[in-house]
Amino acid sequence: MVCIFQLVGPSGVGKTHVIEEATRRLKESGKTVTILKHSHHELDVKGKDTWRFRQNGADLIAFASPKSTVIFTTMDPKLLISIVPTDVVFVEGWSEIQLGYRIEVKGEDMWNEVISRIVNEGSQCSRVRRVRVNGKLTNSKGLLGLVAGIMESLGITSISLD
């Protein structure tokens, strides 16, 4: 079962379209979906607060507006993928490294086949971890899922607050 799909190919072949349609179908079936998009362009604006924070060494910056939040981080994409609490991960780009099941999109004639394959595989995915909180077993979603993913990636099996 594949839960991380990495779509690669030149600009304009439909990678974004494939991810959009597969995401819509997976969401309809109740799956959680995360998308990591690679860009060769700088996302932050030189001189603005978030840029200044990064220049001074911040490891993670959350930039929030009333409708959305953007997170700037220096985290390696492989680590980010391993800790994100979601069922299915799409990676668009990063063609120079292997981050998941790699699919080369070459054009519109293959869209339906690729979307169907992703949806079929993705429907089997569940990356929700079970964790014990205050003695009770629960699904780890949201922030708890993020913490559980970080602990798992670092090999930490338990932690207590004193």
Q: Write a three-state SS string for the chain.
A: CCCEEEEECCCCCCHHHHHHHHHHHHHHCCCCEEEEECCCCCCCCCCCHHHHHHHCCCCEEEEECCCCEEEEECCCHHHHHHHCCCCEEEEECCCCCCCCEEEECCCHHHHHHHHHHHHHHHCCCCCCEEEEECCEEEEECHHHHHHHHHHHHHCCCCCCCC
For the chain, give every domain's residue range.
4-127, 128-162
pTM value is: 0.75
Question: Which homologous superfamily does the CATH classification assign to the domain defined by 4-127?
Answer: P-loop containing nucleotide triphosphate hydrolases (3.40.50.300)
Which pLDDT belongs to residue 90? Answer: 94
| Tens digit of pLDDT at every position of the chain (162 positions) | 559 999 999 999 999 999 999 999 999 998 989 998 888 777 788 899 988 998 999 988 888 899 988 888 888 888 887 777 788 999 998 888 888 899 999 999 999 999 999 999 999 887 666 677 777 776 666 667 677 777 777 788 777 777
